[in-house]
Structure 1
Amino acid sequence: MKKRTFVIRLAGSLLLLAGTALAQTPETAGYLDRFEGEFAKIQLNGRQQLLHRSGKVVVDKIQELSYYRLVSAVKQDAYGVVNRKGDIIAPFRYDAVRILGESKQDNPAENYCLITVKLQGKTGAIDSLGKVLCEPEYSDIGVLTPKTFSIKKNGLYGWCDMKTGKVLQEPKYTEVSRSYVVDGLINIQLQGKSGLSQEDGTILVPPKYERFMGWNSRQLFSYYVPGGKCGLMDRQGKVLTPAIYDDINAGPSDALVAVKVQDKTGLLDVATGQLKTPMLYTRADRLGPLFTVWKGNLCGLTDALGKEIIPVAHTDLQLFDSKGHNVLGAVVSLGPSSAGYTPPYYVVAKKGNTAAFYDAAGKQLLPFEYDDIRVTSRNDKAYVSLLKGTQCGLADISGKIIVPVQFSGIDNNYGISNYDDDAAGTEKNNFIAVLKVIREGVIGIGLFNMATGQLVIPAVYSGLRWQNDNMIRLEQGDSSGLADKTGRIIRPLKKYGAFDAVSPDLIVEKRYYDDGSATLLVNKEGRVLYDSKHWEFSATASNRLLVPDARKTWPLQFNSGLLKVRGYSYENQFVDTTGKLMAFEEYKYVGDFYNRRAVAITQDDRVGIISIDKKVVYPLELDDLTSADNELLKMKQGKKVGLLRKDGSVFLPLEYDHIDRVYDTALYIVTRQGKKGVLNAEGKELVPADYDEIRYSRDDRMFEVTKDDKEGLLGADGSILVPPVYDDLEQNRTWGDHSKFPVLVKQGEWYLYLDAQGKPLPYRAKKKKGYNE
């Protein structure tokens, strides 16, 4: 028989289907509801049921949804399991099912998935692909390790391989459990005694001990015998010491441990089984790569070999890494970073109310003459804060004093409100603000150069602000002045003084006379280069459209050799660094220059961009020019808008009704002749301007589109996921990384579901589920 081909129009696209494979007519349901995760409520034969997102399976009730989106469900009073593709991996014939799984992105080796099934009181196991690992023949099954599962028969336990179902240990123990002494081992119990086995069933330690205690996956652990005594074993089950100790604590490495007998503690060399340090101490605790050892209330430090590097004469010891982090957890070596810490390490030691500073080898870097010492981080570099009485100072990590202990406070990297160093330049990190009590309730701010070890500005000011990389504005109440970065006073404090450094060498001053005032441009020596009675200077008043966002808060400076002279209706005048006035007469307004460019406005209020040599960078024909983001400007001409780069080059031409950046992406929704489209980061068309409405879902990376009152979905690359031919569209109500498909759509009188490929699921209805149904 000759095969016939039919052409069918579905969801706005043409599908070619061979006659012998023609799709069946979808089953008609009483109603459909939108999907919520893996299932949607639908009504079949007058009864509400649950449709899996694959469209392949309908169930009566959901029992459990696992990490791997395996679903245990009930159908006709029998239990089964469906995977994320809609395949039935445990048929609906069991009395009960359980999905046991773990998903750890940071440690995939710990992941597993096991399905237990129960039939007529017996339990079996199936893997996540539907393979039967063991038939229902056991009284219980549970996860033992990520590679094994336990089996129980006749009251005894054994275990099987998680992948193959092979019995690795026949049920013969009263209890089996995952060993947390050593990774990959299984704890076995028989007649009240404990032993250890490998996962493959090989017995390492016969069940003859009371219990075991491990140390965070180290190579060693303790074993206990009746009477509470313990000894040392390695992870191969080899006995390293007899069980003669009351307690054993892990050391900074597997070569050394602390052992305790009655009230005395010593340090044991694991290799020889002999005491490295006699039973001299009352306690020993691991501290990073070292041992803290105690005699009564006093403590000291030993190195990883047991040598006492800081004597037992201190009331407290704290360990810090080279980034200033307090070391609290285990660091097993002085090598590369461990547990998030960065060697080398340093020690703050205290004797009562005094503190000193040591390196990890026991070398004293700072003496016992401070009330407190703290290691802090500033600009990703560690420093040592020193406190003596009410005064503080700063040392580097080697113990060298870089800020003497003579201040009431030091900038602690959180910033001091009246100190602003945004414009301080490349040497910014050399300077630190310091505080001193001037009188009760009054604190002064000063500036210390840590590179030279000099207090460049005494702590007597109420505020300091860098004007540029050389000059600093001084404030004291209602007086102000200027100093350079060496501390040399350029302008002494003056009541109501107005001094603004507009370059490393030039200053704008306001001077008052009997008949008025004038604003002047002067050099450091005070020579007047330019003056005007009408110049209204403000360090923060400027047109900064062309300035990068990071510099917009900086005080106004000469840029491209010019400084704008504002005031008295003149908005097109500038002064150069010699004091010569330069006017852009042909323009009504010229903004501040940056990178040799400025925004300009013509006498008839047309806007554009010009260069410092009066050339037109972008034609002055715009109605308006505003900021779009850090890189772009929005230009407007009539009812059209476009985007301009800050160098004056066009990013998007003036041909759009609206332009809106999509959140923090490099995508732009544009409107042209009332229709919307999407452009990419290069300004190229991603979605043609054919739509009435476009909304972007950042979480789902999809565009929701409307065209001629019909709804659809597009991918982030502009591809059509669901063509806009539907009267209504509701996405899967889900969370996390789950797909927003299937979607519930309405076309004509029918509701139906579409999957992520735009294909319909085999159910349709003329009604959407009501609120109370």
Structure 2
Amino acid sequence: MKRFLLLFSVLVIGSASAQTPVMYDAIGFDSYDALFVKVRKEGRNYFCHPVSGILVDGVEDHAGDLVVVVKDGAYGVIDVNGKLLGGFDYDEVKLMTHYDGQWYPGIRYNYQFAQLKKDGKYGLVDQHGRTIAEPRFQELSVLNKDVIGFRENDKWGWLRASDGKTIQQPLYDELGKSYLFEHTLEIYLNGKKGIAHENGELLIRPVNDRLDNIFLQSRKYAHFFKGKNSGLMDSTGAIVLPAVYETLIPCGGSDFLQVQEAERHGLIDVTGKEITPALYDKIHDFVRGRAIVEKAGRMGVIAENGELLLSPQYNEIEFRNSSGQIAFGNPVVADFNPVSNLSKEYLNRKAAEDNMKALPYYLWVKNHEHKIGVFDWKGVKVIVPEKFSEISTLYQQGETYFHAVQGNLYAVYDKQGNEILPLKYRLQTDVYINRSYNYGDLNTSPYIFPVYDDKQLGLYDVQKKKFIIPVSEVEISWLNERCFEVRRNVEGVSYTKESAVYDIDGELLIPYSKDIYQLKMLSEQLLLAEMESQYVIFDMKGRKVYERADWNRNGYYSGYTMPEYHNKGDKPFKSGLFKIRIKEGNLFIDEKGKEVRFTGFAYVSEFWDNLAWAVKETGDKVRYGLIDIKGNVVLEPQYDRLDAINDHPNLVMVRKNGKYGVLDRQGKLILEPVYDTISTFSPELLEVTLKDKVGLTDNNGKMVVEPRFDNISRNYSGIKRTWPVLVQEGNDFSFMNEGGRPSLIRGKSKIY
């Protein structure tokens, strides 16, 4: 367990309350544990807590808010704030902590204890340093956050974690955690097993050869054994099913139990009522009230009332959802703790999965001739007949379609079992190379889907019962939910393509032209296209809304420094105006194609939140300011230069009269332009230089570390990958804790 142990002399430095700095030969960061820094004294390195000043030889373990440390061969435990919980008086310290799920920063622990060993006996303290038990027990076991098991005179009892008072005197041979009933423990006596309540009440006497857990869909039971037979008990110890069953196996996704007679399986409920007789070689878990059964090497399906929906006659049966995914059971999936800050992408994906779960499921069968078919969930209606070698699913915005393959051809069926397209379309010969259908997720219609015929492609509308784009050698790219681009080869001309734009009804918006490239939606109603090297904006009726001869792919570099703001999901006309990038740096259009200029400015940036940076030129002087969408001056042009700041997307560095300051995106002054340099230090901090001295400010302009140091080093292994920072002032080194609070640790040099 021990990672290292440095046997040095006891070194105790002044506490934080004494306010007495301690000078070391050298100080530096420790890459092993974020809570400590390194200090060197008389040629030896030690570990020091930068807040409390506690000095130790080594760091053994760290979990939650507790840290095991070593000093002079003795063990102790401190909290993350550097408070010593007791003294350095133990032969061993072991952390006993627990949390649910996968660890992440900030996770909530169910409990945090430190087990203390001294002279072969064990005691316990909690995360606050409160002594639960002095080291006097043979052994300790944390059973849960409320109960601690202890062994005394080779027998086990338990005590209360809150105050250390004994609940159960030592009586049992063993204790264990119970995962079956709340507030219960597993007890063992004379080789027999039982269950007791945390308060000491005996629920199930320890007279059972075995006592397992049975978890049904909505209930939990204790599975007890008498000889070769078994039965069920509830949380009070009352017998639910007598011990007359050779086997009792929970059937997943249900409240049923599998029983066995003469090597055949059947189902009963917890009252002993027979659901289905013991007829089958195997019964699979239930999914939405259906279970696959096997008999004599064949598969069938039963309902949860025991009714046989499909007789065991198939080689294979699968349960599939509307997107064609195989469903194996009804697992209970817990959400992550809210502290983990679930991403928007995760929440959207989970919502989509929940929607999918609400849609119909289907029974996929393969018969003895290896032909595949699809039944509805009741096992009554044939959706796709059993005559195909392969069936795949096309899920389109809530509607399910089946591609049924026979040989090299396929047909298409809808979810009601109607044949939409006959068996005549060829499979794609190379689905990995063929990329002729793009951005299909933009197609929100549940009734329009692509149809391939080898390398040819078309679009079919189920409601209209026709192809809106006939199958041919084309490429289709969706531009938004209402329109798409179709590209095809120019007849008689090699390596040349032409493009057209259609709407979702199949109406031609922009006729075929070989000079159209780089189509992009600017809004729901406007489309940007490149034609003959020039940009043109069309509306959804194919009419030209805007074009000009000098607006093309080459653009124009203005020479002005402008921070760019590109938030994911922002649309070009978000503020109502779209910037035309030409030599004239002050040109915009509205959604009707009307040109808009802002009088008196040489250049205006793109708008964000209805604001834009604006440049005013007076002679050879260039000044930057801020205007709103109506051209009103929000911030007078007064700055010589603007620059983005890495890791600080909402801040802008400005220069005025050779000095630097900071604004936010709304033009609010964060830092006066009085600094020699400003740069990013961390996502939360800026480093500023004033008269060759450096300091730190936060993103709101609050001075965290005054600019009086020669150098500041970030602690990438520390708190927030920043703290404590190491500062240098002349030949002296020291640490600053989080928030800029001075540490008592000083050094004559730096440990690298």
Q: Tell me which interval the TM-score lies in, with the shorter structure as reference length.
A: 0.7 to 0.9
User: d(CA) in 2 for partners of 1:679 and 1:380?
Assistant: 48
Aligned to 2:365: 350
What is the correspondence of 1:385-396 to structure 2 with a 5 Å cutoff?
Answer: 385-396=403-414
Structure 2 CA distance for partners of 1:548 and 1:652, relative to 1, 3 Å: farther
CA distance in 1, matches of 2:182, 2:268: 24
Q: Do the aligned residues in 1 keep the contact of 2:537 with 2:547 (CA within 8 Å)?
A: no
Identity rate, percent: 23
Tell which deviates more after alignment, 755-764 or 352-361.
Answer: 352-361
Change (3 A) 1:224 1:472: closer
Letter in 2 for 1:33: G
Q: Which runs of 5 or more residues in structure 2 are unaligned? A: 1-15, 334-349, 553-571
Residue type of the partner of 1:83? Answer: D
The question of whether the paired residues in 2 share the 8 Å contact of 1:233 and 1:239 is answered with: yes
Separation (CA, whole Å) in 1 of partners of 2:174 and 2:294: 40
* 1:644–1:281 Cα change, 3 Å: farther
Instruction: State how far apart, in whole Å, the 2-side matches of 1:606 and 1:349 are.
Output: 63
Is 1:279 aligned to residue 278 of structure 2?
yes
Question: How far does residue 39 in structure 1 lie from its aligned partner after superposition?
Answer: 0.6
Q: 2:668 aligns with which of 680, 684, 687?
A: 684
CA distance in 1 between partners of 2:676 and 2:90 (Å): 53
Q: Which of these residues, 540, 549, 570, is aligned with residue 517 of structure 2?
A: 540
Task: Tell me the residue number matched to 1:728.
Answer: 711
Post-superposition offset of 1:615: 6.3
Q: C-alpha distance in 2, partners of 1:232/1:337?
A: 38
2:204 alignment partner in structure 1: 205
Q: Say whether 1:53 aligns with 2:68.
A: no
Q: Deviations over 1:402-421 (max 9, x none)?
A: 55554335999999622346
Q: Report the Cα distance in structure 2 between the residues aligned to 1:506 and 1:261, rounded to whole angstroms.
A: 71
Alignment-mate amino acid for residue 539 of structure 1? I
Instruction: Report which of the two structures shows the higher radius of gyration computed on alpha carbons.
Output: 1
Q: How does 1:31-70 map to 2 (within 5 A)?
A: 31-34=26-29, 36=31, 37-44=34-41, 47-68=44-65, 70=66
Once the two structures are TM-superposed, the CA of residue 429 in structure 1 deviates from its matched residue by: 5.3
Residue matched to 2:315: 315
Q: Is the 8 A contact 1:606 1:620 kept in 2?
A: no
Find 2:686's aligned residue among 680, 691, 703. 703
Residues 497-545 of structure 1 show CA distances to partners (whole Å, capped at 9, x for unaligned) of 85645996665677xxxxxxxxxxxxxxxxxxxxxxxxxx842379x99
- Of 66, 82, 91 in structure 2, the residue corresponding to residue 86 of structure 1 is 82
Q: TM-score, normalised by structure 2?
A: 0.77
Call closer, same or farther: CA 1:318–1:119 in 2, change over 3 Å.
Answer: same
Name the SS of the counterpart of 1:242 in structure 2.
Answer: strand
Aligned: 1:742 with 2:721: no
Letter in 2 for 1:349: W
- How far apart are the structure 2 equivalents of 1:644 and 1:262? 86
Q: Deviations over 1:428-476 (max 9, x none)?
A: 5543221113xxxxx2111111333322333222323568988766555
Q: Deviations over 1:549-582 (max 9, x none)?
A: 996679954259645667xxx5489xxxxxxxxx
Cα distance in 2, alignment partners of residues 64 and 332 from structure 1: 34
| SS at structure 2 position matched to 1:558 | strand
Aligned pairs (5 A) from 1:73-112: 73-104=69-100, 111-112=110-111
Q: Provide the C-alpha distance between the structure 2 equivalents of 1:245 and 1:154, rounded to a whole number of angstroms.
A: 39
Residue matched to 1:675: 659
Q: How does 1:485-524 map to 2 (within 5 A)?
A: 500=500, 507=510
Say which is worse superposed, 135-144 or 657-666, in terms of deviation.
Answer: 657-666
State the match for 1:328 in structure 2.
328
Compare 642-651 and 471-480 and name the one that shifted more.
Answer: 642-651
Cross-structure match for 1:250:
250
Q: CA RMSD in A?
A: 4.5
- Counterpart for residue 756 of structure 1: 738
CA offset digits 1:322-349 (Å, max 9, x no partner): 565432243589xx99996723551323
Distance 1:650 1:540 in 2: 38
The structural deviation recorded for 1:223 is: 2.7
Shift of 1:170: 2.5
Aligned to 1:229: 229
Q: Which residue is 2:24 aligned to?
A: 29
* 8 A Cα contact 1:702 1:715, kept in partner: yes
Aligned residues: 674
Superposition map of 1:186-197 within 5 A: 186-197=185-196
For residues 306 and 146 of structure 1, the distance between their equivalents in structure 2, rounded to whole angstroms, comes to 43
- Where do residues 376-415 of structure 1 align in structure 2 (5 Å cutoff)? 377-379=395-397, 383-402=401-420, 405-409=423-427
1:687-735 deviation line (CA, Å, top 9, x unaligned): 333333333466x522233333322222233322212221111233326
User: Structure 1: which 5+ residue stretches go unaligned?
Assistant: 1-20, 438-442, 481-492, 511-536, 574-592
SS in 2 for 1:757: helix
- Does the CA contact (< 8 Å) of 1:116 and 1:125 recur in 2? yes
Residue 389 of structure 2 is matched in structure 1 by 371
CA distance in structure 2 between the aligned counterparts of 1:696 and 1:44, rounded to whole angstroms: 34
Structure 1 match to 2:129:
130
Give the 5 Å matches for 1:154-165: 154-165=153-164
| Cα distance in 1 between the residues matched to 2:581 and 2:713 | 50
TM-aligned CA distance change 1:751 to 1:292, over 3 Å: same
Q: TM-score, normalised by structure 1?
A: 0.75
Deviations 1:732-766 (A, max 9, x none): 3326x646222221223321222223222223222
Q: Give the Cα–Cα distance (whole angstroms) in 1 for the partners of residues 604 and 25 of structure 2.
A: 58
Asked if 1 retains the 8 angstrom alpha-carbon contact of 2:648 and 2:680, the reply is: no
Conserved 8 A contact 1:410-1:432: no
Moved more, 315-324 or 198-207: 315-324
Structure-2 residue corresponding to 1:417? 435
Distance 1:147 1:111 in 2: 10
Q: 1:120 to 1:496 in 2, by over 3 A?
A: closer
Alpha-carbon distance in 2 for matches of 1:739, 1:473:
48
CA–CA distance in structure 2, aligned partners of residues 380 and 651 of structure 1 = 48
Matching of residue 618 in structure 1 with residue 615 in structure 2: no
Secondary structure, in 3 states, of the residue corresponding to 2:245? coil
